[in-house]
Copies of this chain bind each other. A is one copy, B any other.
Amino acid sequence: MSTSLIEEKIRQLAQLDSTGMYLDDFLLTWDRTDDEIAAVYKVVEILMELRKNNISPKVFDSGLAVSLFRDNSTRTRFSFSSAANLLGLTVQDLDEGKSQIAHGETVRETANMVSFMADVIGIRDDMYIGKGNAYMREVAASVEQGYKAGILEQRPTLVNLQCDIDHPTQSMADAMHLIQHFGGLENLKGKKIAMSWAYSPSYGKPLSVPQGIIGLMTRFGMDVTLAHPEGYEVMPEVEAVARRNAEASGGSFTKTGSMAEAFKDADIVYPKSWAPFNAMEKRTVLYGDNDMDGIKSLEQELLAQNANFKDWECTEELMALTKEKSALYMHCLPADITGVSCEQGEVAASVFDRYRDPLYFEASYKPYVIAAMMMMAKFENPAEKLTQILQRNKQRIF
């Protein structure tokens, strides 16, 4: 019986100041203080222990969790759905195809119309540079205004399920994986992580994962190396965040044009394809102009550009360069696996196979991360609320 472990973790949580998350949104990890980030992990650990002990953390007897996915998604959709369900919220999809949003409704109007009984809004909008995060802030401002005007009985919390800048539920789950793997947040200090571009035969993968990783991991005193071929730069603003974080945390943020250099002595490697930032900006303009020919030719250009870097693959040879030849391999999934899901891709099949279980563990934290974000926006004192949940001792399965 591990409720004493839960009580211990709640005591640790109570030491952290997370009041800034109360009634606020979770849009970028670098909007949040170190205490808030650490508190999210503590809540994640507590929620996991509660579930293992068959104690239900349901805090909502009713309420909607609105989801808006502007891009296909399986794992994030299920993570959001699982988190909402765990806490007692019901997911209602805002399907722009089925709705009247396309017919001239303003963001402000729609945001209020769907929120009369919504406690959470989750949005994935990662397709266009300069648009996704901005849209989320517009929705957040809209429901804030509606709440202040008394139109909304409660203030729905926005959770960024992936935007053009950050993918906080992914990077936070990734970091949770590292915390579990290395036995504590404090053990991440001094570890080297290689966030590396990798070749993929597909086109236009979002930048939010590498940006999210360098924007978050630099906070923990880690040595973060970003590797990519020339022309695959990420947003300069996010690099600036990474540099500031590294300085403050006593870690480092380095860039290199060589995958091998990045992998050298790395404790963790995260090889993944993404599209060049500049090309994504160009694409956003082309879509705005509805220039389909332009998009097609840009796509051809980018595929040709990609093809120059087929050797950016996470092979056994590269893995052998890492710390004790056994760095932890990470990926947000699905990966492009050479000889499995494509002819040539991001990672060799033998490497991927060896890390299959860790990769699934990595993904498994996302529902808990989202649930923690929801709870901390709803309760000013999460330690107190979790103590009450523990004392209530409601069974998840009767």
Contact = CB atoms under 8 A, between A and B. Distances in A.
Q: Which of A78, A151, A333, A357 has the most CB of B within 10 A?
A: A78
If over half of A's interface residues share one DSSP class (helix, strand or loop), that class is named, otherwise mixed; here it is mixed
A295 to B, nearest CB: 19
Nearest to A366: B116
A360 interface: yes
A88 interface: yes
A51 interface: yes
Contacts of A385: 398
A78 B92 contact: yes
Nearest to A345: B104
A69 B95 CA distance: 13
A72 B85 contact: no
Interface string A332-348: 01101000111000000
A29 interface: no
Contact of A100 (B72, B87, B88, B388): B72
A18 interface: no
Given A58-B62, A74-B94, A82-B92, 13 more contacts: A61-B397, A62-B87, A62-B396, A74-B114, A77-B92, A78-B94, A81-B90, A85-B90, A85-B92, A91-B92, A104-B334, A105-B341, A109-B334
Interface of A: 48, 51-52, 56, 58-64, 66, 69, 72-75, 77-79, 81-82, 85-88, 90-92, 94, 98-101, 103-106, 109-110, 112-114, 116-119, 146, 149-153, 333-334, 336, 340-342, 357, 360-361, 363-364, 366-367, 378, 385, 388-389, 392, 394-398
